[in-house]
């Protein structure tokens, strides 16, 4: 117990120290929200990765999908790395940084407002972000309850309040730079921690091959596969698992979803230079392979720890699976797991609250209500809202109403369904129209809410995947049949890509004839 407590105290002390260290670097709104657009490659990469993966992934999703799909759940982590990290950086990274700088956009709703010349789109985007980001903020506390109960035997409420308070302090004091620096430290903890935990769990079952052999002997039941395959052995240790179609839905939602989430895309706004793009692409992909791949790989062995402790009224409590797997580990490893999950939770919480507070301040209050709000007032308002959103997330986490619990599960689908297509197409095409963005907003939110009420698609995961993919089809179709934006206006925006930049030959090859001319 002493070792675990000391680890927590040291961890919290480092987080607070970084927050106060970053205070001197936060002198204006751009510094507070974007780190002055001067965040280095490693900090940007780790900020992206740690914001991506929270305790929901390590405890909730790893337990749930590992139980359902076995070792094939590892594909979810690999999908997160390839689609959610690598392709996201390659497709969105550089263009997002260039265009948002041209537009002087600091948030995703501000991008929509300036890119499509519509204040109404900006305000509506801010409202959508608020409605779905705040419940998602509350969801990151999921899984901490049983983990802390297992490790410390303390009240879950104490854990939530302490974590939220410390996160609020360093975000309020140091802004985005404090978040990025803390994300770097937290990311290192997550990388080391997941490797140590996987090793400990597999060793407890005789090593990887023996654990895989035991998993292959577990029969599949009708709740996770079709009637024809029910009772079959070896599915949980197989390449595609017992239900590859639903597995694909999970991969799409948790991977492609990052392309349309405000708190994730925001990381591209802060990129410092070309080196940050290249290094960030590689580092964030590696981070996702280790952390996400490791989490789902670990969860894939959950059925080896089947016990009455993970059931309630005959139903599996997915949040109990990973804590049950960790019970037999040495105290120092359990302490590392606690710090790992705290790191994942605090990094995601800080990213969400700074995104929410900046969006409400800049895109709703200043744009629609207090148009003459000065720089200092904006900073104060954002800091106050950080505290408000943290308190609200704690209240929701402690006493979650039924509809809020549902909203948390579908927030990714709603946000990405509304924002992904118009954001991405807007970076590449001059033909995307204002009306198509409105249709995307209505589709993403409308389908998600209707599905919650009527249940067209039973799985919220699959519903989210359908929402995003349909949005990618709807926007170009609607843009084709609706009036285009003023050509001169759009050409001026896209002129940011046409600037000539001189680089050294080691970075870019030229034709032999061109070389002679120079």
The fraction of the chain above a pLDDT of 70, given in percent, is 86
Q: Is the dihedral of CA 215, 220, 224, 226 positive or negative?
A: positive
pLDDT of 409 reads 61
For residue 80, with 0-12 CB atoms within 10 Å meaning exposed, 13-18 middle and 19 or more buried, which class applies?
Answer: buried
Exposure string over 317-326, b if 16+ CB within 10 A, otherwise e:
ebbbbbbbbb
CB pairs under 8 A, 24+ apart, for 401-407? Answer: 404/135, 404/138, 406/452, 406/460, 407/132, 407/135, 407/452
pLDDT in tens, 358-367: 877 877 777 7
Q: What is the pLDDT of residues 428-443, one digit of tens each?
A: 999 999 999 999 999 9
Which tens digits make up the pLDDT trace of 264-291?
A: 888 888 777 777 788 888 888 998 999 8
pLDDT at 87 over 90: yes
Residue 222 predicted with pLDDT over 70 = no
pLDDT, position 31: 72
Is 393:164 a contact under the CB 8 Å cutoff? yes
CB 146 within 8 A of CB 309: no
What is the Cβ-side half-sphere exposure of residue 219, based on CA atoms within 13 angstroms?
8
DSSP label at 80? Answer: I
Mean pLDDT on 316-332 = 78
Among 30, 41, 391, 19, CA closest to 179: 19
**What residue segments make up the domains of the chain, in order of their start?**
2-21+30-397, 401-518
Residue 396 has pLDDT above 90, yes or no: no
Nearest-angstrom CA–CA distance, 334 and 109: 41
- pLDDT at residue 47, rounded to an integer: 79
Helices (H), 204-316: 208-216, 244-256, 262-269, 274-299
In 3D, which of 119, 116, 120 has the Cα closest to residue 490? Answer: 116
194 pLDDT band (50/70/90 cuts)? confident
Q: Measuring CA to CA, which residue among 49, 291, 25 is closest to residue 170?
A: 25
**2-21+30-397: CATH topology:** Sodium/glucose cotransporter (1.20.1730)
pLDDT band, residue 400 (cuts 50/70/90): low
Write out pLDDT tens, residues 465-500: 888 899 999 999 999 999 998 899 989 988 888 876
User: How far is residue 66's CA from residue 72's CA, in Å, rounded to a whole number?
Assistant: 8
Q: Which 3-state string (H, E, C) describes 299-334?
A: HCCHHHHCCHHHEECCEECHHHHHHHHHCCCCHHHH
Question: What 3-state DSSP class applies to 219?
Answer: strand
Whole-number average pLDDT of the chain: 80
| Band (351; pLDDT cuts 50, 70, 90) | confident
Is 85's pLDDT higher than 70?
Answer: yes
- Percent of the chain whose predicted confidence (pLDDT) is above 90: 12
Residue 435's pLDDT is 93
Q: How far apart are CA 118 and CA 486, in angstroms?
A: 13
Helix (H, G, I), strand (E, B) or coil at 39: strand
Sequence-ordered alpha helix ranges (H) in 399-503? 402-428, 434-454, 460-481, 487-494
Tell me what the mean pLDDT of segment 397-426 comes to: 76
Question: For residues 134 and 266, what is the distance between their CA atoms, to the nearest angstrom?
Answer: 16
């Amino acid at each position: 117990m002493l070792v675990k407590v000391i680890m927590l105290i040291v961890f919290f002390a480092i987080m607070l120290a970084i927050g106060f260290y970053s205070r001197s670097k936060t002198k204006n709104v751009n510094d507070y929200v974007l780190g002055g657009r001067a965040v280095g490659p490693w900090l940007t990469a780790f900020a992206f990765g740690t914001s991506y993966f929270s305790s929901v992934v390590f405890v909730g999703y790893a337990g749930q999908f590992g139980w359902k799909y076995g070792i094939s759940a590892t594909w979810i982590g690999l999908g997160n790395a390839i689609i959610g990290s690598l392709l996201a950086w390659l497709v969105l990274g550089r263009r997002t940084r260039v265009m948002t700088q041209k537009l002087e956009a600091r948030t995703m709703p501000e991008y929509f407002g300036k890119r499509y010349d519509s204040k109404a789109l900006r305000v509506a985007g801010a409202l959508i972000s608020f409605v779905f980001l705040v419940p998602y903020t509350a969801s990151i506390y999921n899984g901490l309850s049983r983990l802390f109960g297992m490790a410390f035997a303390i009240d879950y409420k104490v854990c939530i309040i302490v974590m939220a308070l410390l996160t609020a302090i360093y975000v309020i004091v140091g802004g985005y730079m404090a978040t990025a620096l803390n994300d770097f430290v937290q990311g290192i903890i997550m990388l080391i921690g997941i490797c140590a935990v996987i090793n400990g769990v597999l060793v407890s079952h005789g090593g990887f091959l023996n654990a895989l052999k035991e998993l292959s002997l577990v029969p599949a039941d009708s709740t996770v596969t079709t009637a024809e395959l029910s009772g079959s052995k070896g599915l949980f240790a197989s390449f595609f698992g017992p239900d590859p179609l639903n597995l694909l839905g999970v991969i799409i939602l948790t991977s492609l979803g990052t392309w349309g989430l405000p708190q994730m895309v925001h990381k591209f706004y802060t990129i410092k230079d070309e080196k940050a793009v290249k290094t960030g692409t590689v580092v964030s992909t590696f981070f996702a392979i280790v952390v996400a791949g490791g989490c789902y790989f670990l969860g894939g062995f959950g059925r080896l720890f089947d016990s009455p402790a993970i059931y309630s009224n005959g139903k599996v409590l997915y949040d109990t699976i990973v804590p049950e797997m960790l019970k037999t580990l040495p105290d120092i490893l359990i302490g590392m797991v606690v710090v790992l999950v705290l790191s994942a939770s605090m990094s995601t919480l800080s990213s969400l609250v700074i995104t929410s507070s900046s969006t409400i301040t800049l895109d709703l209050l200043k744009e629609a209500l207090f148009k003459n709000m000065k720089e200092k007032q904006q900073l104060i308002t954002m800091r106050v809202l950080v505290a408000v959103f943290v308190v609200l997330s704690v209240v929701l986490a402690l006493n979650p109403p039924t509809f809020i619990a549902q909203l948390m599960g579908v927030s990714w689908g709603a946000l990405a369904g509304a924002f992904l297509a118009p954001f991405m197409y807007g970076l590449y095409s001059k033909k995307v129209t204002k009306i198509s963005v409105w249709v995307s907003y209505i589709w993403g939110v409308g389908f998600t809410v209707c599905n919650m009420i009527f249940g067209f698609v039973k799985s919220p995961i699959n519903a989210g995947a359908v929402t995003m993919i349909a949005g990618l089809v709807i926007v170009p179709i609607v843009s084709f049949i609706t009036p285009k934006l003023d050509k001169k206006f759009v050409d001026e925006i896209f002129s940011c890509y046409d600037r000539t930049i001189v680089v050294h030959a080691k970075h870019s090859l030229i034709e032999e004839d061109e070389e002679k001319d120079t």
